[in-house]
Amino acid sequence: MFPRLSIVVPFYGVERYLAACLDSLARQTFRDFEVVLVDDGSPDGSAEIARAFCAADPRFRLVTSENQGLGPARNLGVEHAQGEYLTFVDSDDLVPRHAYEMLIRSLDRTSSSLAGGNARRFNNTAGVRQSYVHRFAFAADRPATHVLEFPELAIDRMVWNKVYRRRFWDQFGYRFPAIRYEDYPVTLEAHLDAVTVDCLAAPTYYWRERESGESITQQRFVFGNLEDRVVSAEMVLDMVDRRAPELRPTVHHHLAQIDLTTVVQAFAAAAGPEVPALLGLGRRLTGRLDEQVLERIPAFQRLEYHALRSGDVELLQRLARFRADGGLAAGVRADRHPILPWRYRSAYPGSRDAAGVPAGVYRLAPKELALRASATHLEWADDALVLRGTAEILHMPASADASLRLTLVTGLRATPLPVRRIPAPDGEQRVTGFEARVPRDMLAAIPRQRGSARLMASMRSGTVRRRGLLGLQTLYPVGARIGDAWFQPARAPDGRMQLRRLSGDAELTGAAADGDTLVLTGRAPTGPAAPELLLSRAARDVRVPLETGPDGTFTARIPVREVVDATSPDDPFLGRTLLIPQIGDSLLLVTGLSAAVAVPWGDRVLSIARSPGQYLNLVEGPARVTASGITVDGDVITVSGPRWDGVDYRGIVWRRFRPNSDDAVDAACAVTVDGDRWTARLDSTALEPAGEADWTLFADGYAVQAETFALTGLPRRLARHRLHTRAGTLHLETS
């Protein structure tokens, strides 16, 4: 009998990652598969790892060849594949346990030509996060769609997050070209040929981003790598012109934003003999991109485009170094036009001395002079919600006479708030900071039917006036009860701040560890809709009986042994599973807990967490060093957390990786272990100066995850650093 699914895995020089990749395949809940391993002449111990898997599991088969590259290796794997369905995996990546079960179930239901799922990027320093290029195409489930009705699929350029019908693959005879970036031409052609395509919002692939920068997509300054990138882009552009001109705006804009930027950035490091060839490469790509698309890109990219077209190598090098040194993040001030005072020009490199650059290239469109206003710190006082943040009009000089107004907006009603301007600690002490207060009485007056309020910022700097909704940078703000309602600050999907008025939700009012049991207490205002607490996860739901009281109170006792699942965690990188508690259809709002509660079971731990909207989550994962407390005193950072038996707490360090290397520099913390807690202290002024450095808190080879309750006060600024979180890991970035 032939298997239903064939998984093609070429490998070359990946002995550090291959075992974890293959283990994630062996653990799939969909069992009827084969793995065709293609040894593409690997020079290290990867083949030995592959042979060990083949010996242990008959579903794994090994095919060997001389080194030809990823594309031909995939083609060879397809020739040996026998399944009804076909998929591909890169040998340093991971596949979630339920991925193929979900994708094949979808294809069986819809009869689509292929199904694709969302993807996560991951590594130690940045944790697990949404893949940028998949964020729109797979934001929601879309069964039986097509790229011509959903153009966002035109930038779904990777082959590995999909399962294809083998009959469909063979019908059109797809073969990967013998170049790097071989995915995009094949993937786009398959989207165009498909009858329909299924899109799944659930993550079905974990895409590794190596700290060393060794992977193909991270080798940005190797000429051969860039040349293959441009060749791939040209193949895609030819296909769009020939078969789907309606996709030109989407594809051309994507290539201008991603691929053209990558080529220009190579001028920051290209050696002298490579520069003429690199210039020719860039001009090839710019010559293919639609002028109308390029007219809509920001001024800095227009300048890069002009420098390529005109062959101005010196300007290209200055622009690339400016971007590499963080110039765009710092912001470039605008100059008023000497004759037309209502116009502004950017002060990017070359604006004064680049001969032949048209003045219009430096002109800032009105949309580029946008208001950037965000709350960075929230705190509940006795009488008000206190907001602190920054506000400025991009490219405009920040000055004390620039005015800022904030209003609380509920429906059609806008109520002004008192605002105080303060210098922001950004190294220049520019007056970009503010403090505002939202009185509790004002929040209490929000009508029940409104549900939520937002804050509108209005700013004037010189003759420029801008307005927009206030953003929110902190990810886990704390809410408060006012009258009979709970008011929860939250970050909306568009990044803006919401003040949500909540009432009628089931609430978690307390939690405690009782031996090997996690005890949750709370109330459901209308009484529990069902006599059980449902813990929902991708694999299987866990149901826990509720002990209920006459006034809507409840108690749930969760035996940790029934939740622990070390063999099949939903997150294949962190080894963790997220469980979402519900009573009936209601999530549980965390109103009575300010710190996590955790219960160990062997070498696993079940702990309480909360979502950014303050709803209860449970996290089950390995017992590791975990941060539950973060304090800053001047430049001294103190991180602490619970101590678990069998975990080594001696090697807690702040670590930064050297550019394009797996080599790291460590700054050791002063670590103490006292009873059931550990503490690690570091004076950040002692960190080795390293320019734009990014330090991550590490322990025993992995990045320390922080409990969500500990992240409320982040980001924080120190004298020389910014302390913040990235996907639950703690970072110190040079500011």
The yes-or-no verdict on residue 290 having pLDDT over 60 is yes
Mean pLDDT of 300-327: 87
Could you tell me if residue 411 is left (phi over 0), alpha (psi between -120 and 50 degrees) or otherwise beta? left
Mean pLDDT of 531-537: 88
Q: State what percent of residues in the chain have pLDDT above 70.
A: 93
The yes-or-no verdict on residue 215 having pLDDT over 50 is no
Mean pLDDT of 88-107: 97
Mean pLDDT of 525-554: 80
The yes-or-no verdict on residue 218 having pLDDT over 60 is no
pLDDT digits (tens, 9 = 90+) for 107-118: 999 999 999 999
The yes-or-no verdict on residue 660 having pLDDT over 80 is no
What pLDDT is recorded for position 462?
80
In terms of CATH architecture, what is 506-622? Sandwich (2.60)
pLDDT digits (tens, 9 = 90+) for 618-643: 999 999 999 999 999 999 999 999 99
* Range in 308-322, 323-337, 377-391, 711-725 with the lowest mean pLDDT: 323-337
Cite the residue boundaries of each domain of the chain with CATH code 3.90.550.10. 5-208
Classify the C-alpha dihedral 571-577-583-587 as positive or negative.
negative
Beta bridge partners of 386: 379, 437
pLDDT digits (tens, 9 = 90+) for 46-91: 999 999 999 999 999 999 999 999 999 999 999 999 999 999 999 9
State the Cα–Cα distance between residues 231 and 81, nearest whole angstrom: 28
pLDDT class of 561 with cuts at 50, 70, 90: very high
State the Cα–Cα distance between residues 26 and 255, nearest whole angstrom: 36
The yes-or-no verdict on residue 572 having pLDDT over 90 is yes
Yes or no: say if 260 and 304 are a contact pair by the CB < 8 Å rule: yes
What pLDDT is recorded for position 348?
80
pLDDT class of 356 with cuts at 50, 70, 90: low
DSSP for 570-634 reads: SBTTTTBEEEEEEETTEEEEE-S-SS--EEEETTEEEEEEE-TTSBEEEEEEE---EE-EEEEET
Domain covering 371-498 assigned CATH 2.60.120 in the classification? no
pLDDT class of 333 with cuts at 50, 70, 90: confident
The yes-or-no verdict on residue 427 having pLDDT over 70 is no
What pLDDT is recorded for position 22?
98
What pLDDT is recorded for position 303?
86
Structure-token pair, residue 461: 């700097």
Amino acid sitting at position 217: T
pLDDT class of 212 with cuts at 50, 70, 90: low
The yes-or-no verdict on residue 119 having pLDDT over 90 is yes
The yes-or-no verdict on residue 412 having pLDDT over 90 is no
Mean pLDDT, the chain, integer: 90
* Range in 133-142, 422-431, 662-671 with the lowest mean pLDDT: 422-431
- Residue of higher predicted confidence among 589 and 350: 589
Rounded alpha-carbon distances, angstroms, from residue 510 to 106, 301, 592, 695: 40, 53, 6, 35
Per this entry, what is the length of the chain?
Answer: 735
What pLDDT is recorded for position 217?
43
State the Cα–Cα distance between residues 618 and 199, nearest whole angstrom: 28
Helix or strand (DSSP H, E) at 185: helix 183-193
What pLDDT is recorded for position 428?
53
Yes or no: say if 483 and 502 are a contact pair by the CB < 8 Å rule: no
What pLDDT is recorded for position 658?
81
Structure-token pair, residue 415: 């109520």
Q: Which of 311, 306, 302, 250 is nearest to 278 (CA)?
A: 311
Helix, strand, coil shares of the chain, percent, nearest 5, are 25, 35, 35
Rounded alpha-carbon distances, angstroms, from residue 650 to 603, 680, 698: 18, 9, 11
Mean pLDDT of 707-721: 90
The yes-or-no verdict on residue 259 having pLDDT over 80 is yes
The yes-or-no verdict on residue 216 having pLDDT over 60 is no
Which one-letter DSSP state was computed for residue 258? I
CATH superfamily of the domain spanning 5-208? Spore Coat Polysaccharide Biosynthesis Protein SpsA; Chain A (3.90.550.10)
Cite the residue boundaries of each domain of the chain with CATH code 2.60.40. 371-498, 506-622, 626-734
Yes or no: say if 604 and 568 are a contact pair by the CB < 8 Å rule: no
Yes or no: say if 641 and 629 are a contact pair by the CB < 8 Å rule: yes
Mean pLDDT of 345-352: 73
Structure-token pair, residue 245: 């001109």
What pLDDT is recorded for position 346?
79
State the Cα–Cα distance between residues 42 and 40, nearest whole angstrom: 6
Q: Which of 85, 5, 11, 104 is nearest to 53 (CA)?
A: 11
State the Cα–Cα distance between residues 599 and 472, nearest whole angstrom: 32
pLDDT class of 448 with cuts at 50, 70, 90: confident
CATH number among 1.10.101, 3.30.1560, 2.115.10, 2.60.40, domain 626-734: 2.60.40
